Chains A and B, each alone.
Chain A
Amino acid sequence: MTEPDESLRDYIRTVQENTQKYLRDLASENDKLCALVRTLEGHLDRERKDREEVEQRIRAVEAERRTYQERYHEVEEQNDNVSKLYAATLRIHRSISHEDVLAAIHEIIINLVGSEEFAVFEMNTDGTRLARASSFGMDVARLGPIAVGTGIIGHAARSGDTYVAGSGPAPGSADQVPLEANLTACVPFLVEGVVTGAVAIFKLLGHKPRLEPVDLELFTLLGSHAANALYCTSVVESSGAPRSLHMRAAAETRR
Chain B
Amino acid sequence: MDPAKKPRILIVDDSPTVLILEEMILRWRYEVLKATSGAQALRVAADKHPDLILLDIVMPDIDGLETCRLFRTLEPTKATPIIMVTTRGETDVVEAAYAHGATDYVMKPFNQKELLEKIQRHVGVGA
Instruction: List A residues at the B interface (Cβ < 8 Å).
Output: 76, 79-80, 83-84, 86-88, 90-91, 94, 104, 107-108, 110-114, 116, 205-208
Contact = CB atoms under 8 A, between A and B. Distances in A.
Contacts of A208: 109
Contacts, number: 60
Contact of A111 (B24, B87, B90, B112): B87
Given A79-B112, A111-B87, A88 B107 contact: no
A107 B111 contact: no
A87 B20 CA distance: 6
Nearest to A105: B17
A99 to B, nearest CB: 14
Nearest 5 pairs between A and B by C-beta? A207-B89, A87-B21, A107-B17, A91-B17, A80-B112
A89 to B, nearest CB: 10
Contacts of B111: 80
Interface in B10-43: 15-18, 20-21, 24-25
Nearest to B58: A110
Nearest to B56: A111
B90 A206 contact: yes
B108 interface: yes
Contacts of B109: 84, 111-114, 208
Contacts of B16: 91, 94, 104, 107
A108 to B, nearest CB: 6
B113 interface: yes
Interface in B103-121: 107-109, 111-113
A202 to B, nearest CB: 15
B89 A205 contact: yes
Nearest to A73: B113
A83 B107 contact: no
Nearest to A92: B17
A217 to B, nearest CB: 13
B89 A87 contact: no
A104 B87 CA distance: 16
Chain A CB within 10 Å — which of B24, B25, B87, B107 has the most? B87
Contacts of A84: 21, 109
B87 A205 contact: yes
A112 B90 CA distance: 18
Nearest to B109: A114
Contacts of A107: 15-18
B87 A87 contact: no
Contacts of B87: 110-111, 114, 116, 205
Nearest to A115: B87
11 contacts: A76-B112, A76-B113, A83-B24, A83-B25, A87-B18, A88-B17, A91-B16, A91-B20, A107-B16, A111-B18, A207-B107
